[in-house]
Amino acid sequence: MSTLAGKHIVLGLSGGIAAFKSAELCRALVKAGVTVQVVMTEAAEHFMTAVTLQALSGRPVYTSQWDPREANNMAHINLSREADAIVVAPASADFMAKLLHGGADELLSLMCLARPIDKVPLIVAPAMNREMWANPATQRNVAQLKADGIHVLDVGQGDQACGETGDGRMLEAEEILDDLEAFFSPKVLAGKSVLVTAGPTYEAIDPVRGITNLSSGKMGFAIARAARMAGADVTLIAGPVSLETPRGVKRVNVRSAHDMLQAVQAHVPDQGVFVATAAVADWRPANSADQKIKKDGSGQTPQLSFVENPDILATVAQSAAAQTGALFCVGFAAESHDLLAHATAKRLRKGVPLLVGNIGPATFGQDDNALLLVDASGARELPYASKQALAVQLIDDIAARLTR
- Continuous H helices in 245-317: 257-267, 312-317
CA dist 213 → 64, 198, 238, 281, 286 (Å): 59, 12, 13, 6, 17
Q: What is the pattern of x (binds ligand C5P, CB under 6 A) and - over residues 86-125?
A: ----------------------------------------
230 binds ligand C5P (CB under 6 A): no
Q: Helix (H, G, I), strand (E, B), or coil: what is residue 298?
A: coil
CA dist 384 → 83, 96, 122, 201, 370 (Å): 33, 45, 36, 26, 4
Q: Which of residues 43-72 bind ligand C5P (CB under 6 A)?
A: none
Q: What is the pattern of x (binds ligand C5P, CB under 6 A) and - over residues 258-297?
A: ------------------xxx-x-----------------
User: Can you tell me the distance from the alpha carbon of 291 to that of 321, in angstroms, rounded to the nearest whole number?
Assistant: 42
Among 257, 268, 372, 391, binds ligand C5P (CB under 6 A): 257
202 binds ligand C5P (CB under 6 A): no
Closest among 365, 313, 360, 356 to 335, alpha carbons compared: 360
Active site residue 329: no
Closest among 39, 54, 146 to 88, alpha carbons compared: 39
DSSP structural state of residue 386: E
Among 146-154, 167-175, 188-196, 311-319, the segment contacting ligand C5P (CB under 6 A): 311-319
CB neighbourhood size of 153 (10 A): 20
Among 10, 39, 313, 321, binds ligand C5P (CB under 6 A): 313
**Residue number, 124 or 280, with CB nearest to ligand C5P:** 280
332 binds ligand C5P (CB under 6 A): yes
**Residue number, 38 or 227, with CB nearest to ligand C5P:** 227
Among 45-53, 90-98, 109-117, 309-317, the segment contacting ligand C5P (CB under 6 A): 309-317
CB 193 within 8 A of CB 273: yes
395 binds ligand C5P (CB under 6 A): no
Site residues, ligand C5P (CB under 6 A): 197, 257, 276-278, 280, 309, 311-313, 331-333, 346, 350
